[in-house]
Structure 1
Amino acid sequence: MNSSVDGSIVRSVLKLTNISTKLIAVILTNAFRALATQKFELVNAILQKMCHFIARFQAQFSSGQDQKAIEIQAGKCMYQMSKLLMKIQASYPMECRQHLQEFLQLYWEILEANGNADTKIGIVTVRFFTNVLDCELYRTQCGPRTSKVMQKVISANGQVELSDEMIAQAQYTISQFFNMPSQSSDVSRLETLLQRVVLQLMRRSANDLEAWRKDPESFFHLSNNLTAEESIRVAAENLFLTMLQRYPAICIPEFQKLIVQIPEKLQYIINTHPTSSLESFEMSLEMDSILLALGLGSFILYQHIDFEPLYTSAFYPLFARPYAYHIGSLVWEGAVLPLVFNRSIWLIGRWLGQLVPSHWPFLYQSVMTNSFGIEEAASTSNLEDIALKLQTTSLIECMAADWSFQLDHLKPYLPMILHGLYSLLMTTGTLESKQKILCTLETIAKVLGPSIIVYLPQLCTPLATLWARPSDDSNLVRGSILRFLKQILLCVNELLSDDTEYEMDAIQHKLLPLQEMCLQGVQSAVNAKPADPYLLENGLALWYQLILSVKDYSDQLAAIFPHALEIVQLEYEHGLTILGIIEKYLKLDGSERFWDVYHAPILSICITPMIKNVKSQVSIALAHLLERILEHLQIRGMIFSSFSNELVEPTQRLVACCVEYSENHEDKEPESVIISYLHVFALLVLFLDQCDWVYVSVLNSDSKVLTQLVDLMLDKFPSGHAQCINTNSSSVWYPWQLRKKLWASALISLLAWRIPGCVDRVGDIKRIANDILKETQSDDHQQQQIRGTKWEKVTRFDLKSCLDRNGKSLRNQ
């Protein structure tokens, strides 16, 4: 093609070339394996011709054409062909190995020719270099350099043998290319590429600044969610990290040359403020890109850079300045964009691990004052820049979640932080922003721990207003609120469970508004029509924590409980949480009223249908709930009443599962579930020591079943700490020492029934009984070991007397 040729002919040829390129792309993309297997020389020819064609295009259209239409059409052809080669190299690096030199030279010329790389072909070029430098087959040797070990890899030609020599050849091609000096300087191409990536490709474009000006909030979230296919900056970030990882000996020292310039450049920006010039404008953009690279590479550079001196010499002077957010800011279309301060806040969050905690109080003060403003500076603070506020929110979250966080440093600034976060929460418009702020508040609540009681009014009061606001995503926001309230209650419950003496009455009084809010949230979550899965899950988790924070069974708790039965009737997905909720209801003062009303549906709707129809974790929690029910009935003296008849069906199903396990059925329950079921059976035998009911009603007078249960208990009898079981639902452990005593007591009680199958096992049971009776632990130590758990009440049943009594019966037999 020649520019003197008629423009219409050129456009027609370019259009035809573009269509042909798309057709070749479809063929090679979808049939590369078949073509490479049958006629690999054809594939080689196509790749070579395309490479030469792109080079000719680059030479002819690099300076542009007078006719805009021709330039656009030529750009499309260049983009399609370069994208195709990039994809083929990424998918078939083995086959493209012999074309590496040509490909590298071609894409380097494209990069050199495109001064403005923020184009589609620029993105493709950067992605190509990333693929080549990061390719495992180009840099991983099977053995020593002299080794001839062969490695089998899957390629387009099928399974081929890859030798060290082939890898070394690819490495040599890449190294030779990047070690050559670039045309514009005497330094190597690799160093030139690093400089260009950091200072040009990672630089904010005019489109970025315009997007920031128009909608700072959307710009903040979009900047964090772009992909390498959409953004030249993200593609350059990936290339920069790849270069640091794959060529640290060259790239890290080269990047350090840029880092040492940061204090000088920042000082220049500070000194020239508030005057604005093209030089200061360019300096701010350059500083932004260097700081971006420094933050991105923090993990790789952690052992190579001491951030503490850099912070002291460069960033402390910046943060210490009045209205620091104005320094290094850009005026774009009438809007002030705090470019350098915004990026500095982000960078601090990436390097927190190297900042000593003594710097943190100053950071709290500076970033909050400059981002959210304070009352005396409200008229001049940058309140309208939501992007800066969201960046500060991210920093606060990073600081609260960091391993070196110290609560005493945060407390003096917490009222200001909470005020700023809630002010932003009430004005922000996107779901992403609301969830980010609520997540930060949740992290703060977590680190406050029991001291959260002091900040409850400031933490909770604004939530009611936010909950009531209608919007398209209101349920998602409300789900985040429920999760936040759950975290608050977790901290409160930590305070309530502390052994230290607190003014519990005063604390309970402070909790009333919080508990009322949580109760309303739970009611809305479980009563939503149609049910929202996200809202329901968080609502149930909050419900569980709410019960832990109250002492008494109330009408409000009674009113919402039927929803739990409705949920479990529909599905067992939330069965684990609901079982925990029921178990905690039974621990409340006044739970007698709860059980009297709801015992029948709990047993018939919740417990009985679940047995053998849920996961093992839920089954263990179910057994734990049955133990709580037995304990509840025993304490009330109702274990022999008509209530015991309602336990027949669930206990029969438990026994059936144990029998199936004993008979080694294919669909048997896991061992951990069987052990928890046997524990329920042991408690049942102890609490209902009347042989008639257990043997007749539960076992249907089947001595074979009883024998199988006894054999199982002997086989699974706890022998040490390793056989503890955790329900994972309420973190309640079965103390192994106590379980040994309970199981031994149950076995001895079974002997008293004089059932033939039990009498035949007298020897084994007697050996176990003697071992238990020889235990050297004192009663006081046993009480201390289990204090604070449900076993404390069980221990009052006086297990030692039970052992002595039944041991005597055993010796008499």
Structure 2
Amino acid sequence: MMDATIVGTVLDALTRASSQNTAVLKPAEQQLKSWETQPGFYTVLQTIFSNHALDDNVRWLAVVYFKNGIDRYWRKSAPNAIAEAEKVKIRGQLITNFQEPVGPIATQLAVLIGKVARVDCPRNWPELIPTLLTAIRKAGHLEQQRALLTYHHVIKTLAGKRLAPDKKLFQELTENTFSLLLELWNAHLDEFIHHAQMKDHHNMTILLELSTLALKVLRKQLVYGMLEPDKNASAMMLIELVFQRIRPILEIRGELSSTNGLREKLEKKVLLLMKTLLDTQDTFPLSYVSFIGRSLELSVTYIFTEAGRGLLFERFIVFNMNLIKSIVKCDYCRVSKVMENSKDLVAYDAQKAKNEFFTDSTLWEMCHRLLSQYFLLTQEDLEMWESDPEGFTIDEGGESWKFTLRPCTEVLFLAMFHAYREVFTKVLLQIVQSVQGVIEPTNMDMLLQKEAVYNAMGLAAFELFDEVNFDQWFTNHLLGELNNKHPRYKVIRRRVIWLIGQWLGVKLSPSLHPTVYQAVLPLLAQDEDLVVRITAAQTLKIAVDDFEFKKDNFLPYLESSFALLFQLLKQVSECDTKMHILHVLSFIIERVEAQIRPYASSLAQYLPVLWEESVEHNMLRCAILSTLVHLVQGLGSLSVELYHFLIPIIKFSTDVSQPPHVYLLDDGIDLWYETIQNAPLMTKELMQLFGNMTPLLELGSENLKTCFQIITAYVLLGPNEFMQSYSCAVYAGCVSLLESVRPEGIVIVLKLVETILKVFPTEGPQIFRQLLPKILQRVLDKEEYPTVMSMYLSVFARIVIKNQSFFFSFLQQYCHTTKQQPDELLSKLLVVWSEKMDWITQAERRKLSALALMALLPSNSSVVVEKFPDVVYAVVEVLHDVCREENGTQVDYLVMGDREDVEDEFETEHDKRKRKLSMKDPVHCTSLRDFCILQFTEFERIHGTPTFTRLMESIDFEIREQLQNFFK
């Protein structure tokens, strides 16, 4: 027998843990936590929550601690797992009776039994299901309810297991128990309807709960425990009964007052019946074909005819609309041209059922009802418009159509329009004509009808492409609608400007885009309704982001639109709305580029204030960072005026020790890159900011490419001061990444190394001296990836051309380390270099390697003499790549003359620095043809004419002839 002292100690701790006094509660919680891994603790908890005489709060807390312990310690593999002997006792005790009197405790018990079942059933707990089924069959309502509740949670967890053996076991369980549950559900529902006729609310509540639990189990078993429900008579009977039961329950609900709690339970019951239909249709569309006609009849009758009057509630309408949409859009029910198998025949039956139901008159009525009833703004919508205009404008998006009436209505309308375009087009265009004339602002019903029709016209823009002359409609009608400034007409002004946005990218002539800009401006003004202003801002974003956008057409409206949007940004208060307006401003800045400079100061002054106000809103801060990226791009070198604000923001956003960095890092790095690109000169603040880079490189995120672009930009911005301070950090970052990244990452690292070698031809090789042996070894091992090999050879080419003394000293040191002969090593390198020239695809890099090989020719080395023909073959190929004949002379087109040193108005400061560096690059300032002539002459001087003549004669005649043509 269990020690009563231990039970008393745990009971005392639980009693204190349920106290409202923090001073008492906290030590008790710590004490209970320390017992979690003690043998026997969960047996004690079970003893306590099984004792109905104890305080309910203490018992509830004991169950919760027990349930949480199952998650942590029940599995055998868990650290401090509960002993198997204790688990056997616990399992036996859990199902000894189902008489728990307290509802919340019973629910927690059912959940924890489900958690144990997920791990142990059926292998280690074969008696669970039989015991539950025995209890479910008993007559007592309490015991049956508790057993059904437990069975529901057990089935719920077992249905979620996805391994093949588990799925097979669940299918067997379904096969053995489905009929029993179906009979039970049906019997309880019959009894419920009988008691409803006598207005016996007490028994109605009990029976409704029992039948609902049974149906929840049936739904899980139907969806997850059957392969082909159409071959199971019980499954088909369930679907048949669902159709029969919906109307009686709706009628019983309609007789209850809105304050009666039973009314809400009945709504949940109806929704569960609808979910059963929806899940079956979605999971088994081919098995559901025989019910298509019944489903459409049910849903369309209720929501599109007078038969549903007084019986409907919003979520029931949503479920019916989703069922219609699901049937209409079902991919499995599309008929192929050639029917090859039984699935095609079933699909044919499905299509036939839909065609028979959706007659022209039915479609006509559905379209009319959608537009005249479900599309209308409700009184609640209009009240929200006035009380919370920003909340009204938020687009719910995502899967809101599954749960909310307005998006659900729009999704159904589009599905029907796409499937039955001909009829829906006729109805819609006919109704448009009927509301097209002038409407008195006092006639609210007609205004709402017009708003609904315009909404439909916007949603169906793509479907109506060939049916509507939008240019004409826009010019002759819609612009006039926008000019009506009556306060009540705002519902039309808002819908019309939204409608124009929907059609902009579909069918509006580019010549009319300036008219759209002109139409938007008055709707952004401060005296306009806030909902209209926010909608107009979204349309302006669509217009500016359009493929046909022309900057020159927008510039006359830039100042006004920017000022009005900025004013709107300051006036709205919701985080989401501010984000939307910032995105519009960002699009405009991105599109007009440098033209934004005269108007950006006001935004630049406001963003620091908004940043401070948005401490709790990381997504708004992301929008601010994104806006700043475009602002810096637009301001160019003038962005230095923002440094007092920009640099602290970049520092905060890219500091991996700051918790918000998980949201802000990507945009923060982009902003850093734009800032350093547009910096005219290095500053102390920019230098200090680089302290954030080392942790970012260690993080190894997908931002590595941008990080290396930032480092490159630093090297070009302030070469000497930057490398004096950070050369060690740069070297360490390169070394660590070369060992861990994929080929594309290696290329990114080596491009930085190459840039440093360009800027520092003397000091650069020394910085990377310890890295070069690894690179050389990979070259000699014939690196597999052509792009990587190209970069490796480019690194050595830069050293050979600009610092040949270092190159040969490096080879000597490498030979000393690897016990090789220098001539042998150089020979291997030249062989690989000649062989892999074809791997180098960029003309600039091919030329770089050719220059390096020619630079080696005059060296006093027997290896170079030996490899002379290989070098010539490789170089002649490159001469063909880079030379063009002009006026009878071969000219190297990669050489930049003064004519190419012309600034581009869209160049960043970084671009200018890169261009200036390129002007000094041997690739762009040395003619390969002239350099070859020079190097051959030098080779002949050093090695003698006989040697030179002999080597040239050893080359193929055709190659010699090509070489002579280049040297003419």
Q: In which range does the TM-score fall when normalised by the shorter chain?
A: 0.7 to 0.9
Looking at structure 1, the residues matched to 258 and 561 of structure 2 have their Cα atoms a distance apart, in angstroms, of: 57
Amino acid at match of 1:633: F
Q: Deviations over 1:44-67 (max 9, x none)?
A: 122112222224545x55974679
Q: Which runs of 5+ in 2 are unaligned?
A: 1-192, 902-914, 941-946, 952-968
Is 1:471 matched with 2:619? no
How far does residue 127 in structure 1 lie from its aligned partner after superposition?
Answer: 0.7
Question: Does the aligned pair in 1 maintain the 2:481–2:492 contact within 8 Å?
Answer: no
Question: Does the aligned pair in 2 maintain the 1:319–1:367 contact within 8 Å?
Answer: no
Q: How many residues align?
A: 715
Partner residue, 1:742: 848
Partner residue, 2:26: none
Partner residue, 1:487: 630
Distance 1:659 1:341, change over 3 A: same
Distance 1:404 1:118, change over 3 A: farther
How far does residue 442 in structure 1 lie from its aligned partner after superposition?
Answer: 0.7
Looking at structure 2, the residues matched to 401 and 128 of structure 1 have their Cα atoms a distance apart, in angstroms, of: 36
Q: Output aligned runs, 1:606-645, within 5 Å.
A: 606-634=733-761, 639=762, 644-645=765-766
Secondary structure of the 2:895 match is helix
Q: Deviations over 1:532-559 (max 9, x none)?
A: 1333332322222222223333333223
Looking at structure 2, the residues matched to 581 and 574 of structure 1 have their Cα atoms a distance apart, in angstroms, of: 11
Question: Does the aligned pair in 1 maintain the 2:607–2:624 contact within 8 Å?
Answer: yes
Question: Does the aligned pair in 2 maintain the 1:682–1:743 contact within 8 Å?
Answer: yes
Q: Output aligned runs, 1:283-294, within 5 Å.
A: 283-294=446-457
Secondary structure of the 2:401 match is coil
Partner residue, 2:719: 591
| Among candidates 420, 424, 449, match of residue 568 of structure 2 | 424
Partner residue, 1:28: 219
How far does residue 578 in structure 1 lie from its aligned partner after superposition?
Answer: 2.4
Which structure is richer in relative contact order (CA contacts within 8 A, separation 6 or more)? 1
Looking at structure 1, the residues matched to 535 and 861 of structure 2 have their Cα atoms a distance apart, in angstroms, of: 74
Partner residue, 1:522: 650
How far does residue 40 in structure 1 lie from its aligned partner after superposition?
Answer: 0.9
Name the stretch that deviates more: 25-34 or 226-235.
Answer: 25-34
Q: Output aligned runs, 1:325-474, within 5 Å.
A: 326-328=487-489, 338-353=490-505, 354-357=507-510, 359-373=512-526, 381-382=527-528, 385-469=529-613, 471-473=615-617
| TM, length-normalised to structure 2 | 0.68
| Among candidates 290, 298, 308, match of residue 106 of structure 1 | 298
How far does residue 629 in structure 1 lie from its aligned partner after superposition?
Answer: 1.2
Is 1:682 matched with 2:794? no
Identity %: 19
Q: Output aligned runs, 1:250-329, within 5 Å.
A: 250-264=423-437, 267-268=438-439, 272-273=440-441, 276=442, 280-321=443-484, 323=485, 326-328=487-489
Name the stretch that deviates more: 437-446 or 703-712.
Answer: 703-712
How far does residue 450 in structure 1 lie from its aligned partner after superposition?
Answer: 2.7
Amino acid at match of 1:346: W
How far does residue 798 in structure 1 lie from its aligned partner after superposition?
Answer: 6.4
Distance 1:781 1:543, change over 3 A: same
Q: Output aligned runs, 1:184-195, within 5 Å.
A: 188-195=361-368
Secondary structure of the 2:837 match is coil
Is 1:765 matched with 2:908? no
Q: Deviations over 1:758-807 (max 9, x none)?
A: 66644322222344567445557432388637432112466555433443
Partner residue, 1:158: none
How far does residue 191 in structure 1 lie from its aligned partner after superposition?
Answer: 1.6
Partner residue, 2:391: 218
Amino acid at match of 1:207: E
Partner residue, 2:811: 695
| Among candidates 786, 797, 801, match of residue 671 of structure 1 | 786
Looking at structure 2, the residues matched to 519 and 109 of structure 1 have their Cα atoms a distance apart, in angstroms, of: 64
Is 1:244 matched with 2:407? no
Partner residue, 2:160: none
Q: Deviations over 1:696-747 (max 9, x none)?
A: 2356556666555434432331489xx23xxxxxxxxxxx0x3223212323
Q: Deviations over 1:739-758 (max 9, x none)?
A: 22321232344565677776
Partner residue, 2:328: 133
Question: Does the aligned pair in 2 maintain the 1:202–1:234 contact within 8 Å?
Answer: no
How far does residue 432 in structure 1 lie from its aligned partner after superposition?
Answer: 1.4
Looking at structure 2, the residues matched to 21 and 300 of structure 1 have their Cα atoms a distance apart, in angstroms, of: 43
Secondary structure of the 1:162 match is helix
Looking at structure 2, the residues matched to 366 and 421 of structure 1 have their Cα atoms a distance apart, in angstroms, of: 14
Looking at structure 1, the residues matched to 236 and 774 of structure 2 have their Cα atoms a distance apart, in angstroms, of: 70
Q: Deviations over 1:99-153 (max 9, x none)?
A: 2222222223322333475511111111111011111222x22324xxx412xxx
Secondary structure of the 1:453 match is helix
Looking at structure 2, the residues matched to 583 and 118 of structure 1 have their Cα atoms a distance apart, in angstroms, of: 63
Q: Output aligned runs, 1:489-638, within 5 Å.
A: 489-493=632-636, 510-527=638-655, 529-530=657-658, 532-571=661-700, 573-588=702-717, 591-603=719-731, 605-634=732-761
Q: Deviations over 1:185-221 (max 9, x none)?
A: xx61122112212221222223322333322112221
How far does residue 628 in structure 1 lie from its aligned partner after superposition?
Answer: 1.5
Question: Does the aligned pair in 2 maintain the 1:201–1:236 contact within 8 Å?
Answer: yes
Looking at structure 2, the residues matched to 620 and 450 of structure 1 have their Cα atoms a distance apart, in angstroms, of: 33
How far does residue 299 in structure 1 lie from its aligned partner after superposition?
Answer: 1.8
Distance 1:459 1:780, change over 3 A: farther
Whichever of the two has the greater Rg, that structure is 2
Amino acid at match of 1:339: V
Looking at structure 1, the residues matched to 724 and 268 of structure 2 have their Cα atoms a distance apart, in angstroms, of: 77
Q: Which runs of 5+ in 1 are unaligned?
A: 151-160, 180-186, 329-337, 374-380, 494-507, 665-669, 725-735
C-alpha RMSD of the superposition: 3.2
Partner residue, 1:728: none
Secondary structure of the 1:93 match is coil
| TM, length-normalised to structure 1 | 0.80
Looking at structure 1, the residues matched to 422 and 496 of structure 2 have their Cα atoms a distance apart, in angstroms, of: 27
Looking at structure 2, the residues matched to 169 and 463 of structure 1 have their Cα atoms a distance apart, in angstroms, of: 61
Name the stretch that deviates more: 222-231 or 575-584.
Answer: 222-231
Q: Deviations over 1:363-408 (max 9, x none)?
A: 44444334433xxxxxxx24xx433322122111111111233334
Secondary structure of the 1:7 match is coil
Looking at structure 2, the residues matched to 674 and 575 of structure 1 have their Cα atoms a distance apart, in angstroms, of: 21
Secondary structure of the 1:648 match is coil
Distance 1:715 1:134, change over 3 A: same
Looking at structure 2, the residues matched to 477 and 632 of structure 1 have their Cα atoms a distance apart, in angstroms, of: 40
Partner residue, 1:717: 837
Question: Does the aligned pair in 1 maintain the 2:884–2:893 contact within 8 Å?
Answer: no
Question: Does the aligned pair in 2 maintain the 1:631–1:794 contact within 8 Å?
Answer: yes
Looking at structure 2, the residues matched to 705 and 230 of structure 1 have their Cα atoms a distance apart, in angstroms, of: 72
Question: Does the aligned pair in 2 maintain the 1:262–1:287 contact within 8 Å?
Answer: yes
